[in-house]
Chains A and B, each alone.
Chain A
Amino acid sequence: MKPPRPVPKSRRLVWVGLLVGACVLLYFLPPFHVVPLEAARSEAEAGVFDAAAFVETFWEDRLLKSADSAVDAGELLAAFEADPTDAVQRFGHRLGLSGSSSYFVSGSGHIFEIEDGNVTIALQDEGGAAVVIETGPLFGNAVRDGSGLLDVSDFPNSQDFNALSSEINRRVEERVFPLLRETAAIGVAVRFIGGVEIADVEKDVPPLRLVPVVVEFP
């Protein structure tokens, strides 16, 4: 029987070099990381979009400060009457390839009618119903899209963008409607700012169905 041949020194060096290389590689590019469970959970929660916090900041820092950009309700209604297509182009915001359009509107007038939770407002110096505020559960994207301040492309997950509408609507129900319900009475003067969403400008106006951001009784 032949004795085992000794491994040449240079060959051993090759394997040692490879081993060291692999160790260095694994050190800098580890295949997995061990982290405490609590830290992993906090990290996952930190990545969750907080629609309420976003809307809180958006409402105070951007939405209310953009009141000057709102189109006057009387001007918008006149524009719809003159040329609906032109009115959409001048004052409206469309979300992607959408048939409906949204507007940020302001105005003042007096309360003309209150029925089934719907508050109807006649504009200054005009007699008829021009703006209706439905004070029941709110749905839709009138404020989010009407403001023209938020872009869906800024949100990696569109569920987050949609959550904004729910949160804005919740805020209107909680913070704007109580004052309106409490104070509204026929003949009372009112000033308003809010969003309007119109599915079909040829059929659905007037009146403007407003989701209010601000309601004031001067």
Chain B
Amino acid sequence: MNRLQFNRKLTIEWLAATTVAAIVACAAAGCSSQSPSSSSDGPPRVAVVISTLNNPWFVVLAEAARDRATELGYEATIFDSQNDPAKETSHYENIIASGYQAILFNPTDADGSIANVRKAKAAGIPVFCMDREINATDAATSQILSDNFSGCVKLGQYFVEQVGKSGKYVELLGLVGDNNTWNRSKGFHSVVDRFPGLEMVAQQSADFDRAKALEVLESILQASPDIDAVFAGNDAMAMGAYQALAATGKADKVKVFGFDGTDDVVKLVSEGKIVATAMQFPKVMARTAAENVDSYIQGERDFPQKTPVDVELVTQDNVAQFGDFGHKGAQ
């Protein structure tokens, strides 16, 4: 080998070595300095990242956010995380690389989603949480959240009124990684547990999913056929529970309580098939979050970190006031 060949080889090796070292060092230091470039032409872009679109309530949340952002002059795109944190992370990577101006965000996991929000923040993209929170107050620009705990305190009080101070019931939990699941459960139990005669015979997760709730309750009913009530952590699971009870001829005997205020459950409340639900206001939350995005882009920086939104009890007595995921007649 002549000297020239040897030097060239050495130079290539040094280049490879320094490149590898630079990549390793950069990865270790958490480099993520992609600057957000807005799209050169057309309106500024806003991403709407939703935990799942396999539930009508979240479809309403996503579409209301997209529509309000569009009204305010933005090009809004919905991303479905399918309740999968890995998909959510992948959406964030695409959004950061694609020059979006802001993210309207419904997280899959209160803890697991924090890293995504921080990544967007580091890239200069503000994140506005809707309905579900993340367990950090220094990552998102604002969080508009349902007051699930207080809603379920009201629901728990009504549950005791309707079921009585003794009886057996089942609780269907939502996604275990979501704070809303536990805020609802704890709000409900803060009331119901004060009555020792009310016995919870089973507490199982059905992931906020109607089909899973149907399966889970069918299985529970085999072991505990004599229940008096079901408290479901959302309306999709209440529908699944009602379906399971109807299939076994128990729908008239077992009182079902939901949470969300979806149109199909509000209708079943008016028909007396489901006893009560709690109306969250997805359109109010989505519109407020989209308006916060607009204010941010116009220069506003002073947002309350968390804004709880009141939840209202829907029963046969007041069901006429509710519909279309809110108060009837409200925008």
The one of A8, A10, A96, A163 in contact with B147, judged by C-beta atoms closer than 8 angstroms, is: A96
Contact mask A148-169 → B, CB, 8 Å, 1/0?
0000111111110011011000
Set of chain B residues within 8 Å of A100, measured between Cβ atoms: 310
Q: Which residue of A lies closest to B308 (CB)?
A: A96
Given known contacts A11-B10, A99-B312, A141-B150, is B21 in contact with A158 (CB within 8 Å)? no
Q: Is the CB of A159 within 8 A of B308?
A: no
Q: How far is the CA of A98 from the CA of B191 in the complex (A)?
A: 21
Q: How far is the CA of A101 from the CA of B304 in the complex (A)?
A: 18
Q: Is the CB of A162 within 8 A of B183?
A: yes
Set of chain A residues within 8 Å of B288, measured between Cβ atoms: 97
Given known contacts A14-B13, A162-B187, is B135 in contact with A156 (CB within 8 Å)? yes
Q: Is the CB of B308 within 8 A of A25?
A: no
Contact mask A125-146 → B, CB, 8 Å, 1/0?
0000000000001011100000
B182 within 8 Å of A (CB atoms): yes
Set of chain A residues within 8 Å of B110, measured between Cβ atoms: 157
The one of A18, A98, A153, A162 in contact with B17, judged by C-beta atoms closer than 8 angstroms, is: A18
Q: Is the CB of A156 within 8 A of B310?
A: no
The one of A10, A155, A165 in contact with B10, judged by C-beta atoms closer than 8 angstroms, is: A10
A29 within 8 Å of B (CB atoms): yes
Distance in Å from the Cβ of B233 to the closest Cβ of chain A? 14
Q: Is the CB of B17 within 8 A of A14?
A: yes
Q: Is the CB of A139 within 8 A of B190?
A: yes
Q: Which residue of B lies closest to A170 (CB)?
A: B190
Set of chain B residues within 8 Å of A153, measured between Cβ atoms: 137, 304-306
Q: Is the CB of B309 within 8 A of A25?
A: no
Q: Which residue of A lies closest to B156 (CB)?
A: A139
Q: Which residue of B lies closest to A166 (CB)?
A: B190
Which among A98, A141, A162, A166 has the greatest number of chain B C-beta atoms within 10 A? Answer: A162
The one of A10, A29, A97, A140 in contact with B150, judged by C-beta atoms closer than 8 angstroms, is: A140
A21 within 8 Å of B (CB atoms): yes
B25 within 8 Å of A (CB atoms): yes
B7-29 interface (Cβ within 8 A of A): 10, 13-14, 17, 20-21, 24-25, 28
The 7 closest A-B pairs by CB, nearest first: A96-B308, A153-B305, A162-B149, A96-B307, A98-B310, A137-B194, A97-B309
Q: A25-B24, A157-B110 are known; give 8 further A-B pairs, CB within 8 A.
A: A10-B10, A11-B13, A14-B17, A96-B304, A99-B312, A139-B156, A140-B150, A152-B308
